[in-house]
Structure 1
């Protein structure tokens, strides 16, 4: 039974994220890796160093019945580039949420999540510079509040009800990210039979190599290692590589040569399905859509089965829609912090389904356990193609958080008869 509830008070607590905020422009310009740090000067506004600890802000909504709903503000690792808003500073953002936003949200009804999320996003857009980070955390807390008010305490069911999703809640494939540990962390993924791996963090040209030779060698190692370590012969994971636009860079922007390299990698993958995220970077949203569409047409004409995935420059629900209707990609990473309020991520996922594009429910290593659990409910409610194990780059922790939250939600749904 739904209980009418309102917000009595808004509290914000500064926190940390699970990895780092990295100045991608400085790294691409040649900042040298030194252990876990980078040497050199920051170039992206808002950064004082090339690598800085990621931050978060916990948003706590004290409801009229005393329940405290929780969500976490976060930004992606490579904030401030690719059309994204600047990095935020937790102490400043927490102060602004309490002082400027909180009084305006007091008395707001939390029973209808979508309505409350849209209203709060409108307020945030009027008040904040780091709009999306703020709306990301506030909307998570509102979804938690709506689930509490509805009595079943299952955020995925709120999403199904409010968006009129008829398909049952279901498990979706999880994909792992290995960070810089491209070998030892992959072993963990194989031993745990992760469906999609390894992300790879292919963020410097040497990892691609001349004409893709470096990546070809790495994919060969992946295949051999999977065969060696897999627990059952039927385990055949999808190989998903995020190349940060560097295949296109190695190909000097030439679409035909970019396709040549991708097909070389496809041959190296053998029987494994291959997915390439952000294969090139054209420098703006419209140019990216045009270039990705040309690459996709070229690959399809050559009968390639590689799926290319849009990532950077797809930062809003509108961006995702434009990539989808242009036929510019096979899949889109819905990078949840970039889309701000989580109702935008839900809209973008359903729009992908409508246009036959595979939605990848992503996010970032730099967010938190709370945001990961909340967005897991989005994945099981909307039936995404795959869902990122997050946060962090250690893999084990993020995989545990997402896998267990997904299974808890499905088990609860099966017992209360609502799925």
Structure 2
């Protein structure tokens, strides 16, 4: 079965994109007023720009439309990621190269189509790959099309083609909150988010010259959960520090000692620290994170580390997992390109005993978030990142309800067999 038509529609993504290099190297910065900062990453015209999306609409002969959204992450072009995604730069290739292939491809199964999307393309310079954002959106649409053809959920397609078992409960979600929004934090506590608050710390000034601002914030969040949470609510606390701690404490023993201080501030809850270090290369990133993790284990420090930067592709994730560099990797789905890569990444982490967050970016859309929820049901990652946006409520609602609906539909179908 083949699509009968294809449309490409340019729209808005769920957040905005930022030049991470410029932000980290600027003494002061305001996320929406950056006139005094010059961009440093190729492709950026300003340090902060609106995010863009190209929706791919596959019109099916059975009457439906399968949709996928091409989108990149907030910090595009950083730490080996593909360049900033600018929609207009890709429309010609989509129309001239991708459209003819889509109209001729068999959508009755997904996995082979996913492999094609990830390969080099005849018609592109040196048979290069499509941008990761395009590969992400294309495979979303193709996966959704296969599900519609068979009248089943996306999770069921993945379960059938990869031989996985669909979860009978929703996967835990990390609710991503602004660190200066106490009301937002309180709502996530009230809704019993499994992990919170993410609360990005991008600049060294965010954590304090000696890290004291971060320590105080961790202590505040733990206290807020104790004060506002209901009996039996026991979330994990997660904080994304974007390498600021490695900048502050370049010696690993001092960094490990500081992380122990954070663990005490988080008591009685477990704490996860994402990107404690951002090194200058992938090899150095893996080496330093692995050494840090060994220090933490040796000192019985109750902190789990999460890799993000330099851990962008399926091959990267395998290298981090093989090295035992961290406790968790974030599988940042737009960076991996094809959805099949994210599926493979979760399954590989499971084999290696490395935890994983099936994540992505606030810059995504409700379409990619719903598909992420279906992928999660079929592959069982440790947790998801709430998306799109950083409103927390919206992402928590979209992901939770999509998983609950998927579970209900699967159970209903199984009961009729």
Q: Tell me if 1:11 matches 2:11.
A: no
1:56 to 53, 61, 64: 53
RMSD of aligned alpha carbons: 1.8
C-alpha distance after superposition, 1:19-39 (max 9, x if no partner): 101011111111643473323
Is 1:408 paired with 2:410? no
- Identify if the C-alpha distance between structure 1 residues 240 and 332 changes in structure 2 by more than 3 Å, giving closer, same or farther: same
Counterpart in the other structure of 2:202: 203
Unaligned residue ranges in structure 1 (runs of 5+) = none
Q: Secondary structure at the match of 2:211?
A: helix
Instruction: Tell me the residue number matched to 2:18.
Output: 22
1:406 deviation in Å? 1.1
Structure 2 equivalent of residue 337 of structure 1:
334
Q: Say if 1:125 and 1:189 are closer, same or farther in 2 by CA, change over 3 A.
A: farther
SS across alignment from 1:99 = helix
Kept in 2: contact 1:125–1:131 (CA 8 A): no
Comparing 356-365 and 5-14, the one that deviates more? 5-14
Residue of structure 2 in register with 1:272 after alignment: 269
TM-score normalised to the size of structure 2?
0.95
Question: How far apart in 2 are the matches of 1:162 and 1:339?
Answer: 19
Residues 245 and 130 (structure 1), Cα distance of their counterparts in 2 relative to 1, 3 Å cut: farther
1:141 is aligned to: 141
Q: Secondary structure at the match of 1:309?
A: strand
Contact kept? 1:12, 1:95, Cα under 8 Å: no
**Residue 33 of structure 1: SS of its match in structure 2?**
coil
In structure 2, what is the equivalent of residue 36 of structure 1? 32
1:173 Cα deviation from its structure 2 partner = 0.5
Alignment check: 8 A CA contact 1:352 1:359 kept: yes
8 Å Cα contact 2:24/2:203 also seen in 1? yes
Report matched runs for 1:55-74 at 5 Å: 55-74=52-71
Aligned residue number for residue 181 of structure 1: 180
| Separation of aligned partners in 1, 2:22 and 2:168 | 42
Q: Paired residue for 1:233, among 222, 231, 234? A: 231
Residue aligned with 1:265, SS = helix
Query: How much does 1:65 deviate?
Result: 3.0
List gaps (5 residues or longer) in structure 2.
none
Write the deviation string for residues 152-186 of structure 1: whole angstroms up to 9, x where unpaired.
2x001111111101354431111111135353321
Q: Distance in 2 between matches of 1:112 and 1:130?
A: 21
Contact 2:118 2:129 in 1 (8 A): no
Tell me, what secondary structure is at the counterpart of 1:412?
helix
Checking the alignment, whether the CA contact within 8 Å between 1:242 and 1:278 is kept in structure 2 is yes
Counterpart Cα distance in 2 of 1:212 and 1:260: 12
Given candidates 348, 352, 355, the residue that maps to 1:355 is 352
Aligned to 2:81: 84
How far apart are the structure 1 equivalents of 2:310 and 2:408? 37
CA distance in 2, matches of 1:273, 1:176: 15
Task: Please give the TM-score of this superposition, normalised by the length of structure 1.
Answer: 0.94
Separation in 1, partners of 2:27, 2:87: 26
What are the Cα deviations for residues 139-163 of structure 1, in whole angstroms up to 9, with x where unaligned? 00011011111222x0011111111
The one-character-per-residue Cα deviations of 1:31-55 (angstroms, maximum 9, x if unpaired) are 6434733232211110111100001
1:277-316 equivalences in 2 (<5 Å) = 277-316=274-313
Aligned to 2:247: 249
The more displaced of 326-335 and 173-182 is 173-182
Counterpart in the other structure of 1:94: 91
**Structure 1 residues 320-360: Cα deviation after superposition (integer angstroms, max 9, x where no partner):** 00000111111100000000000000001100000000110
Report if the CA contact (8 A) 1:75-1:338 is conserved.
yes
Deviation at 1:73, TM superposition (A): 0.4
Counterpart Cα distance in 1 of 2:238 and 2:184: 14
Q: How many residues align?
A: 412
SS at match of 2:205: helix
Q: Note the C-alpha offset of 1:106.
A: 1.7
